[in-house]
Structure 1
Amino acid sequence: MARPTVRVDAVLVQAVIAGALSFAHLHDLASAAGQDGWKAWAYPISVDLLLVAAWRRLRNDGPSRLAWCWFVVALIASLGANVATAGFLDLQHPPGWLRFGVAGWPALAFLGGTLLAHTTQATDPVDAPAPDQPAPEAPACEPVPIEEPSAPALAPAAAPEDEDVPARPVAEPASTVPAALVEHARKVAAEHRARTGSPIDTDTLRTRLGVPLQLADAIAAQLT
């Protein structure tokens, strides 16, 4: 049975060495700036965590101004500590701006971590997706005209006849009487019978309807 071979990943080894050196440089810089004890060890962890959080945001959600801003801030803090401990600064007598920066780092790191964790990609102005074309508006519903039933055309009232010469035109056929007019005449006849107790005569029907005598005769014929 063959034994599993253990392969050493050179990239992983390099990352461990670089992380350890950067961690040590940050610890030394924080200790020189007056942060002793456990506080000096907490500074490297804070810087590296902010760097990893910004990189993870860039990898998962794509490039954004917010993620790039805090990635650069954490990278400058890490790179500056590595350079500062190489003899460019007198760590025995650190300048005031270094003490100021190290003392204010916790608040800055907390702000960056909170923004990276609770700010959605949609609010980032850089990565906001291009607005799609406006959706076509739904056509407005046009009102459908409602045709109202036309009122039955009543025959024009007969002109006053000459008493001396009663002229009677030829009576129209009963079939030309509109059904609506006949129905109206039935109501008039029923109302007359209920009021007087006798059927309505042709002259009274003609007067009530305001129609010519010939048309009144045709209507009366349909009422019987």
Structure 2
Amino acid sequence: MARPAVRVDAVLIQAVIAGALSFAHLHDLAAAAGQAGWKAWAYPISVDLLLVAAWRQLRSGGSKTAAWCWFLVALTASLGANVATAGLLDLGAVPAWLRILVSGWPAVAFLGGTLLVHGSPKPEETPVQEEATDLAVPSVPELPVAVPETARPSTPPVPPALVALARKVADEHHARTGSVIDISTLRARLGVPLPLAEAIAAQLA
């Protein structure tokens, strides 16, 4: 039986090395700034936890502005320790401003972690309304309805002046064409609705 090949992830190894070195640099800087014993070991843990919390907030789709802000704060603290312990700073004579920054870091990290975890409440989930199923309603055939004689529209009244004008138009049409004017032509010449044109034609007959 063949033994499974052991895959070595170079990126993971690089991350472990970088994390270990950064952890050691933060510890050395905290110890040089007057944080002795277990307190010096707590500083790199605090910085790394803030980095992780900010990264999780970025990945979860929360407030991007707050997540990037605290991610950069933690990253600055980590890079600052790496640069400070690279020989550019005398760890035997740490300046006062750096001691102040180191001693004030726990409060800053606590504030950042609290805002990242509890600062952006999740929106309340609204219950999904179930869609009502369409009920098939049988179609009812339309039955013919007999309209009583009294309900049918009567012939519209025609003003005498309109009848006189229509007679003049009909005479001109007969003189020009030799035929009696039809309802469509009469309606078009007078510009009246069809029922009114029919009523006028009835009076001209």
Q: 2 CA distance for matches of 1:70 and 1:63?
A: 11
**Residue-by-residue CA offset, 1:45-88 (whole Å, 9 max, x unaligned):** 00011011101101111561111110010000000000000111
2:177 aligned residue: none
> Is 1:83 paired with 2:83?
yes
The 3-state SS of whatever aligns with 1:61 is coil
Kept in 2, the 8 Å contact 1:48–1:74? The answer is yes
List per-residue Cα deviations over 1:6-53 (Å, max 9, x = no partner).
111000000000000000000000000000000000000000110111
Q: In the alignment, what sits opposite 2:24? A: 24
Give, in whole Å, the separation in 2 of the partners of 1:62 and 1:99: 34
Gaps of 5+ in 1: 124-224
Q: Would you say the 8 A contact 2:26–2:78 is kept in 1?
A: yes
2:103 paired with 1:109: no
Is the Cα–Cα contact under 8 Å of residues 30 and 102 in structure 2 kept in the other structure? yes
User: Which position in structure 2 is the counterpart of 1:182?
Assistant: none
- Does the 8 A contact of 1:61 with 1:121 survive in 2? no
> Residue 120 of structure 1: CA displacement?
1.6
Distance 1:97 1:15 in 2: 31
Match of 1:74 in 2: 74
Equivalent residue, structure 2, for 1:2: 2
Measure the CA separation in 2 of the matches of 1:63 and 1:106. Answer: 23
- 1:34 counterpart residue number: 34
**Structure 1 letter corresponding to 2:37:** G
Gaps of 5+ in 2: 124-205
Instruction: State the aligned residue count.
Output: 123
Letter in 2 for 1:51: L
Equivalent pair of 2:62/2:120 in contact (CA under 8 Å): no
Query: In 2, distance between residues paired with 1:120 and 1:107?
Result: 20
| Matched residue SS, 2:60 | helix
Misfit runs of 4+, over 6 Å: none
Identity of aligned residues (%): 77
Cα distance in 2 for partners of 1:83, 1:96 equals 18
Q: d(CA) in 2 for partners of 1:66 and 1:15?
A: 25
CA distance in 1, matches of 2:63, 2:4: 41
Match of 2:96 in 1: 96
Partner of 1:58: 58
Please give the root-mean-square deviation of Cα atoms over the aligned residues, in Å. Answer: 1.4
Q: Structure 2 length as normaliser, TM-score?
A: 0.58
